[in-house]
Chain A
Amino acid sequence: MSSPHADDVFTIRFDDAVESMHQHSYRGSKPTAGLWNDIRSQMHPENGATAAPNPTPEHVAPRRRSSMISPQANVAGPRSGFRTPRRNASAWITLALVVMLVASGLYLNHALQRDTSDQQIAWAPGTTISNPNDEIMVASPGASPSAIEYGPEFACTVEPLTADEVFETVLNPDNGMRRLGWESTSSRKYAESLHAWPHPLEKTRMVPVTAVEATTIQEAVDTADMFWNCLMTGTAYQVWALTYPELIQAEIITNLPVVRTEDDIRAYIEKWGPQYYRAGPARIWPDLSNLEPATIALRFEGVIVPSEGVSEILVGLNNSEKREVFETIIPLSNVTSVTDGQPIYVEISLTIHPNGSWTVIGNEWYGAPPG
Chain B
Amino acid sequence: MHVTKPHHQLQMSEPELRIVDEEMLIEHARHDPDAFAVIYERYADPVYRMCLRAAGDPDVADDLTATVFLKAFERLDNYHPRPDSTFRAWLFAVARNALLDYWRRNRRVISWGEEEIVIVDQAPGPEEIALSRISLAEVRTVLATLNNRHRSIVEFRLSGLTTQEIASALDMSIPALKSAQTRAYASIRKHLAPKGATL
Contacts and interface: CB of A to CB of B under 8 A. Distances in A.
A78 B41 contact: yes
A99 to B, nearest CB: 6
A14 B37 contact: no
A303 B104 CA distance: 10
A181 interface: no
A4 to B, nearest CB: 8
Contacts of B74: 47-48, 51, 55, 59-60
B73 A43 contact: yes
Contacts of B60: 65
A153 interface: no
Interface string A265-299: 00000000000000000000000000000000000
A191 B100 CA distance: 27
Contacts of B13: none
Contacts of A51: 74
Contacts of B120: none
A49 B28 contact: no
Interface string A23-36: 00111111110011
A325 B100 contact: yes
B96 to A, nearest CB: 9
Contact of A35 (B27, B31, B62): B62
Given A39-B40, A60-B67, A327 B147 contact: yes
Contacts of A204: none
Given A39-B40, A63-B66, A102-B24, A29 B73 contact: no
Interface in B25-72: 27-34, 36-38, 40-41, 44-45, 48-49, 52-53, 58-67, 69-71
A310 B147 contact: yes
Interface string A1-39: 010100100110111111111100111111110011011
Contacts of A98: 20, 23-24, 27-28
B118 interface: no
Interface string B131-152: 1101110010000000111000
A63 B63 contact: yes
A94 B37 contact: no
Contact of A42 (B23, B59, B70, B128): B70
A30 B38 CA distance: 16
A14 B185 contact: yes
Contacts of B31: 45, 48-50
Contacts of B175: 196
Interface stretch (A137-145, A336-344, A351-359): A351-359
A68 B65 CA distance: 12
Nearest to A38: B66
Interface in B137-179: 139, 147-149, 157-158, 171, 173, 175-176
Contact of A7 (B20, B33, B61, B185): B185
B127 A13 contact: yes
B117 interface: no
B10 interface: yes
B4 interface: no
A328 B181 CA distance: 15
A58 to B, nearest CB: 11
A77 interface: yes
Contact of B148 (A42, A102, A327): A327
Contacts of A59: 70, 74
Interface in B84-116: 97, 100-101, 104, 109
A288 to B, nearest CB: 17
A308 interface: yes
B70 A28 contact: no
A64 interface: yes
A10 B199 contact: yes
Contact of A43 (B36, B188, B189): B36
Interface of B: 7, 10, 20-21, 23-24, 27-34, 36-38, 40-41, 44-45, 48-49, 52-53, 58-67, 69-71, 73-74, 76-80, 97, 100-101, 104, 109, 127-128, 131-132, 134-136, 139, 147-149, 157-158, 171, 173, 175-176, 181-182, 185-186, 188-189, 192, 198-199
Given A63-B63, A79-B41, 11 more contacts: A17-B131, A17-B134, A18-B134, A35-B62, A45-B32, A48-B76, A62-B67, A64-B63, A82-B41, A196-B173, A353-B171
